[in-house]
Amino acid sequence: MPREAPTPSARQNELLEAAYRYALVHGLADLSLRPLAEAIGSSPRVLLFLFESKDGLLRALLARARADELALLDEASGSDGTVGLVSAVERLWTWLAAQEHRPLLRLWAEAYTRSLVQPDGPWTGFARATVEDWLGVLAGFQPPSERESETGATRRTLALAVLRGALLDLLATNDEKRVTQAVAHQLALLHDGTGRD
């Protein structure tokens, strides 16, 4: 029987939150324990003790970022019972395009890319997990008959591709008006091609 992971201590949680705030500003690419520890009021030795290794700390930071992303996606999707992929993507895009979410989304983009080019280590499975997370969120907006169909899976995959591509373009250019117009155009095509939403 696999051993359960120990419950994190209050100090470990406190340092993880501080390290997460640091990563939102500085990213993960060149994360070095000494400057991180100094910035969050700890030491490299304490971080290594609490997280077992730098990779362990990176895995904890990625899990923290993913939890934040899912919570914010849930918040963006709302709880008013709206069903329909097009209206859901419109709402999600509004959230993604908001300036205040850029630090989290830059961190997500960095982790997603590293998961693709460095599939071993702390990044393992991050990209695949986020694809599954987003597809799950989008599926929740589809009526059950559509959600369970092959066409429904194709439509939410297309919606995710539009959101992801637009997000990467927005992060690269900050041209919110142009990218939002492109998303709106694609959503009109998605809507017109099905007669739904």
Q: What CATH number is given to the structural domain containing 79?
A: 1.10.357.10
Tell me whether residue 78 is in a domain. Answer: yes
CB 16 within 8 A of CB 61: yes
Within a domain: residue 197? Answer: no
pTM: 0.78
**Cα(26)–Cα(163) distance, integer angstroms:** 25
**Residue 81: pLDDT band by 50, 70, 90 thresholds?**
low
On whether the CB atoms of residues 168 and 179 are closer than 8 A, the answer is no
Among the listed residues 33, 60, 30, 69, the one whose alpha carbon sits nearest the alpha carbon of residue 123: 60
Q: Does residue 174 surpass a pLDDT of 50? A: yes
Our count of domains for the chain comes to 1
Range of the domain at 188: 10-192
Q: Is residue 4 part of a domain?
A: no
Q: Is 138 domain-assigned?
A: yes
Is residue 5 included in any domain, yes or no?
A: no
Question: Which pLDDT score, from 0 to 100, does residue 191 have?
Answer: 73
CA gap 177, 79 in Å, rounded:
27
pLDDT value, residue 193: 52
Per the structure block, which two tokens stand in for 126?
């991050």
pLDDT category at 123 given cuts 50, 70, 90 is confident
Taking alpha carbons only, the member of 68, 72, 94, 88 closest to residue 147 is 88
The per-residue pLDDT for 85 is 87
